[in-house]
Structure 1
Amino acid sequence: MTSDYTTDEPSRSSLYDIRGPAVVEFGAPWCPWCQAAQPLIAKAFEGLDDLPHVKIEDGKGRPLGRAFGVKLWPTLIFLHDGEEIVRCVRPESAEPLKQALAKIVTSP
């Protein structure tokens, strides 16, 4: 699991080009919702050290989050072979994250 949000936005196509399961997380390091979700995310990601997890700092003037329709932080988008399978917005427990991970890790 990645711990810091990157300010370097990858291209949208590079995220769609990731083969297999991956998670894209939009948020901000100063966001209280994002801070509260980090232990839940860490718990859900236990044992999935090889899973690509891209944490992208979102905010004004950062178009990638808008391209993905992000309105609240944190938003986690669960991809498989570049296709969005499910998303979790402002998770309040690890369970919906684990369920979302199960969907992408077991996808064909």
Structure 2
Amino acid sequence: MPFSTVYSSDAPSREEVDAWQEPAVLEFGTNWCGYCQAAQPAIAQAFAGHESVRHVKVEDGKGRPLGRSFAVKLWPTLIFLDQGREVARLVRPADPGAITDALTLVDRPHL
């Protein structure tokens, strides 16, 4: 799956996210957020080699139900999902290694 580069205002519902079977990362933030922009090189670097992981950038803010359902407080927040369940969370990540470590929790063969 291609790496997403723009936060989308068209977010899936929590029910849709919970039903995902493939490995996924929800990235909450906004296109104008300085912290979000600064984190993009590390996030892109970590995602190289993890093309099977669904990456969904969700525009977050007041009244946005998906971010509220995950109790997102700061941007960017990356939520790593294995079969729709949260297995890791990183807030304002700057280290590609930490992101890669979290990706390996979801990007593995399921037996």
Query: Shorter-normalised TM-score: what interval?
Result: over 0.9
CA contact (8 A) 1:79 1:104 kept: yes
Query: Greater CA deviation, 65-74 or 44-53?
Result: 44-53
Name the counterpart of 2:37: 35
Q: CA RMSD in A?
A: 1.1
Return 5+ residue gaps in structure 2 as ranges. Answer: none
Aligned twin of 2:16: 14
Amino acid in the other structure paired with 1:3: T
SS in 2 for 1:50: coil
Moved over 6 A (4+): none
User: Is 2:61 aligned against 1:96?
Assistant: no
Q: Could you say what secondary structure the match of 1:99 adopts?
A: helix
Alignment check: 8 A CA contact 2:50 2:103 kept: no
> Please, which runs of 5 or more residues in structure 1 have no aligned partner?
none
* TM-score normalised over the length of structure 1: 0.94
Deviation at 1:49, TM superposition (A): 2.2
Residues 80 and 107, structure 1, Cα contact 8 Å, conserved in 2? no
Partner residue in 1 for 2:78: 76
Provide, for residues 45-66 of structure 1, a one-character-per-residue CA deviation record: whole Å limited to 9, x for no partner: 0022232111100012212111
